[in-house]
Amino acid sequence: MAEFFSFLKVFLICGTVLILAFMALLSLPQSKLRAVGLELAKYAMAAGLLLLIPSPVDLIPDVVPGIGWLDDVGYVVAAIASVRSALGERKKRLLYDELEVQELQDRTRK
């Protein structure tokens, strides 16, 4: 049992260090990990919003037809906006990658 707790202690320490390093890389403005992380977070947010539609947890209860569906419509609109924003982040990231490749090719030619 003591071996398990020592393993768990090492696992938690290494996991904490990994999470802190990940958060530090996400905080850097020019980090590629930040660009990918933001894109994935926006897709995850869209998925979470779509999961709220059939969920019984609502801002406005669905007891009153029509008015109760307003929050569901808001979830759909926010999910669409989140996906559009993620696609914009993806286009921007691909453009930066293309520019970086061109700069590297220009440097090697000189």
Q: 5-22, pLDDT tens digit by residue?
A: 898 999 999 999 988 987
Give the C-alpha separation, 30 to 34, whole Å: 8
From residue 104, alpha-carbon distances to 92, 99, 100 in Å are 18, 9, 6
In order, the DSSP letters of 66-107 are: TGGGHHHHHHHHHHHHHHHHHHHHHHHHHHHHHHHHHHHHHH
As to burial, measured by CB atoms within 10 angstroms (0-12 exposed, 13-18 middle, 19+ buried), residue 8 is exposed
pLDDT value of position 47: 95
| Size of the chain in residues | 110
pTM of the predicted protein model: 0.69
- In this structure, are residues 74 and 50 in contact, taking their beta carbons and an 8 Å threshold? no
pLDDT value of position 88: 93
Name the band, by pLDDT with cuts 50, 70 and 90, for residue 59.
confident
Q: Pick the residue with more confidence: 85 or 2? A: 85
pLDDT value of position 79: 96
Name the band, by pLDDT with cuts 50, 70 and 90, for residue 56.
confident
pLDDT digits (tens, 9 = 90+) for 28-54: 877 778 888 888 889 999 999 999 888
